[in-house]
Amino acid sequence: MMSPWCVLLMCVCLQSGPVCRAVPEVQTLNLRVQYGEMAILPCNGSAYLGEEGNVYWETSLGVEVASLRIGEETEGERTEFVAELPSEMELPSEEQIQRGDWSLRIRSTKLLDSATYQCIWEGQRPGIVSTVWLSVKEPPTERHLLSSEGETVTMKCFLQISWSQFHSGVESWWTRDGERLLQAWPEATPSSDSLLRFSTPFVSVEEHHLQISPTLRTDGGEYRCWYRIGDSESPRTGSPNRITLTILDTVSAGPDAELLTVSRSGSDAELSTVPPEEEDSVSSTPDVVPVFLEDSTQPSQETTESQPMEALKETMTSLPGGEESVLQEEVPWIRIGLIAGVLVVTALVLSVLKALQRI
């Protein structure tokens, strides 16, 4: 049911429209963006066109982000820009201002940009033009890192701070396995000369990196990024709250490296290591059976006594230059010669027996 005050307000607006139009509607917006994306904070000031005054962009905590001076253009006089901006923010152009578009742009959002912003008009009719609740999603981070010895590793840590807290002073540092490693902000200083391989390249006021180059086996452990706002506040961990680094050993191929061999018994394969000095004796063993690791079910082929004869036959049937056909042509002539010899001997025997009058 509509309250009497609402009915009264409607009646007043119907009787005097200009009075109601003199109170512009406050614009509100919930805006959520990914880390690093552009964010546009809208502010439509078309209801104030033709008036003189100032536009202020402030956070809900009263921190001034930007300010614009608005006025009617006359000969020899132009709109002036007065801005106190973070490096990633952009004011509207003069053409946009003349159209009443006082929107503020953040080219690359950061976590500390998450805040409530208000576009405020100060003139004959002061008031809040728009309110924007901006939320920046936290970027994904790696909590477990693997690296081989001698490589370069970079760890990323994000601080949960606001612009007002940043101006209050921020100190950050890195620890490994609970021990302080080096200070990252405001000035990178290692805790000892032995940590000269460690550095903290500056990325932004909230994104702190730890770089190790080259890595050693002793660099493995649990790393944390800490920060403190002001001298009286207790230290807090950044995001992620811990990063585990594992250093893998490199494979040595020097003279002392062991030889890996495979022996198979039935369907089971075993791995064994043989010192270098015994490598020659292993390679000269006559009982070594070749193993096909691609297919463990493939049967091994063993040499038997029948294999030399089969090899000889294959050699004879694959002689180059057409010798195979020559051998095949010589075989019929040999048989004919043997048959002729047998016939001649038989004729001689018959002749002798006839001469002796035995037949």
Give yes or no for a contact between 54 and 70, defined as CB atoms under 8 angstroms apart. yes
169 and 129 in one domain?
no
Distance CA 91, CA 66 (A): 8
Q: Is residue 301 part of a domain?
A: no
Residues 61 and 111 in one domain: yes
Task: Identify whether the C-beta of residue 35 lies closer than 8 Å to the C-beta of residue 137.
Answer: yes
168 contact partners, CB below 8 Å, separation of at least 6: 229, 230
Cα–Cα distance measured from residue 199 to residue 188, given in angstroms and rounded to the nearest whole number: 7
Q: Which two tokens stand for residue 252?
A: 């040595």
The backbone torsions φ and ψ at residue 189, rounded to the nearest 5 degrees and listed phi first, read -140, 120
Contact 195, 174 (CB under 8 A): no
Q: Which residue has the higher pLDDT, 339 or 237?
A: 237
**Does 121 map to a domain?**
yes
Give yes or no for residue 265 having a pLDDT over 50.
Answer: no
Nearest to 240 by CA among 122, 132, 337, 145: 145
How does the average pLDDT of the chain come out, rounded?
74
* Residue where a domain terminates, one of 214, 233, 248: 248
Token pair listed for 241: 């709250």
Does residue 87 lie within any of the structural domains?
Answer: yes
Any domain includes 101: yes
User: Residue 51's domain spans which residues?
Assistant: 21-136
User: Domain end: 217, 248, 279, which one?
Assistant: 248
Domain co-membership, 178 together with 239: yes
- CA separation for the pair 247, 149 (Å, rounded): 6
Verify that 230 and 149 share a domain, yes or no: yes
Under DSSP, is residue 304 helix (H, G, I), strand (E, B) or coil? Answer: coil
Task: Give the chain's domain count.
Answer: 2
Please report whether residue 305 resides in a domain.
no
Whether residues 129 and 31 share a domain: the answer is: yes
Please report which confidence band the pLDDT of residue 137 belongs to, taking 50, 70 and 90 as the band edges.
very high
- Average pLDDT value for residue range 2-31: 57
Same domain, 28 and 132: yes
Q: Minimum mean pLDDT among 80-84, 152-156, 217-221: which range?
A: 80-84
The pTM of the full predicted model, rounded to 2 decimals, is 0.57
Pairing of strands 221-229, 89-90: unpaired
CA distance readout (Å), 19 to 10, 24, 115, 219: 12, 10, 33, 72
**Does 170 lie in the same domain as 242?**
yes
92 prior amide bond cis, ω within 30: no
Same domain, 217 and 186: yes
* Two tokens, residue 269: 């394969």
Alpha carbons 97 and 309: distance in angstroms, whole number: 101
Let me know whether 130 and 31 are in one domain: yes
CA distance 138 to 150: 31
Length of the chain equals 359
Select from 157, 214, 144 the least CA-distant residue to 185: 157
Check residue 12 and give its pLDDT.
Answer: 45
- List beta partners, residue 75: none
What average pLDDT does the segment 127-135 reach? 95
Indicate the pLDDT class of residue 142, thresholds 50, 70 and 90.
very high
Nearest in space to 208 (alpha carbons), one of 216, 218, 198, 195: 198
- Do residues 170 and 224 share a domain? yes
Residues 102 and 158 in one domain: no
Q: Can the peptide bond before residue 240 be classed as cis, meaning omega within 30 degrees of 0?
A: yes
Say yes or no to pLDDT of 279 above 90.
no
Q: Which residues have C-beta within 8 Å of that of residue 286, sequence separation ≥ 6?
A: none
Q: What is the mean pLDDT of residues 243-261?
A: 64
In a domain, 7, yes or no: no
Say whether both 127 and 207 belong to one domain.
Answer: no
With bands split at pLDDT 50, 70 and 90, how would you rate the model's confidence at 8? very low
Please identify, among 213, 248, 283, the residue that sits at the C-terminal boundary of a domain: 248
Task: Provide the CA 249 distance to its chain's centre, in angstroms.
Answer: 22
Q: Which CATH number covers residue 198?
A: 2.60.40.10
